[in-house]
Amino acid sequence: MSEGVVIAQKSPYKAELKKGEKYFWCSCGRSAKQPYCDGSHKGTGLMPMIFTADEDKTAWLCGCKNTQGKPFCDGTHSKL
């Protein structure tokens, strides 16, 4: 597990992504607006992951914050 990271939940978040839209995925687990950043990482040394959707799609964004395929769930939560 990454230093200072909080497990927001041990399952992914379903997200409807829109092509060309920029998203700020919470990588610290502290945001009250999971799976997206609300600035709660301030002072932790952690930063959100910024990504742009390449197509309109349903995606599963990591909730445990330990995925190797950030920001997408890779099943790591099942090993925690």
User: In total, how many domains does the chain have?
Assistant: 1
CB 53 within 8 A of CB 18: yes
Residue 3 pLDDT grade (very low, low, confident, very high; cuts 50, 70, 90) = low
Please tell me the distance from the alpha carbon of residue 52 to that of residue 50, in angstroms, as a whole number. Answer: 7
Is residue 39 scored above 50 in pLDDT?
A: yes
Domain that holds residue 67: 1-80
Strand boundaries in 1-80, DSSP class E: 13-17, 22-25, 49-52, 57-61
Residues 5-22 have a mean pLDDT of: 97
Report the helix count and the strand count for the chain, using DSSP H and E: 0, 4
Residues 9-23 have a mean pLDDT of: 98
Is residue 2 scored above 90 in pLDDT?
A: no
**DSSP, res 7:** -
Residues 41-69 have a mean pLDDT of: 96
State whether residue 24 is helix, strand or coil: strand
